[in-house]
Amino acid sequence: MVFGPGTAPIRLITPQYYFAMTHYNTYIGQRLKILREDRGIPAQQAAKALGVSLDVYHQSEIGLRRIPVSEIFAARKLLNISIEDFFTHDGLYIPDLDNDIACADISDLIHYFSNIKDIQRRRSLIDQIKDASSVF
C-alpha cells in the first residue's frame, strides 16, 4: 500500500490482479444475465431491483463493472435462488477463474449443459470432460 497526499492509502493494482478481477466480473455478469434471461426477466426490471440504471446494469452483465455484494443479494432475491446457486450449477462450483479458461467459455458450458434434459447424456459428457481433464 502506498500513501498519497494526506493520509489516504492508495492501492496499487497489479496487471495480474486487474486481469483476475476482470475474469470474476465477466463471469458474475454473464451468470446474472443467463439466470435473468432463463427466467424471462427484462433487463429494465433487473436494473430496478438492483437499484441501478439500465446502463449501469448492462455494464455489470458484460463485466465492465464490479457488482457489489448488495446487488448480488438483490439479484438473488429477484431470481429466487440461493447465493450458493448463484455461484454454482448442479452442485459444481467454479472456484478459480484466474486460469486460462475464458469466462465466456465457462458461461457457455454451464448454459448449454443446463439445457441438456437427458440425464444419461449429461453423465456421459461429464465423464468425457473428466477423461480430458487432468483435474480429476
Model confidence over 45-103: pLDDT tens digits? 999 999 999 999 999 998 888 888 889 889 999 999 887 778 776 555 555 444 445 55
pTM for this predicted structure = 0.54
Cα angle: 87, vertex 89, 95; to 5 degrees: 50
Q: Sort 123 into a burial class: Cβ within 10 Å, 0-12 / 13-18 / 19+.
A: exposed
CATH architecture group of domain 10-132? Orthogonal Bundle (1.10)
Task: Give the cell for residue 97.
Answer: 477463474
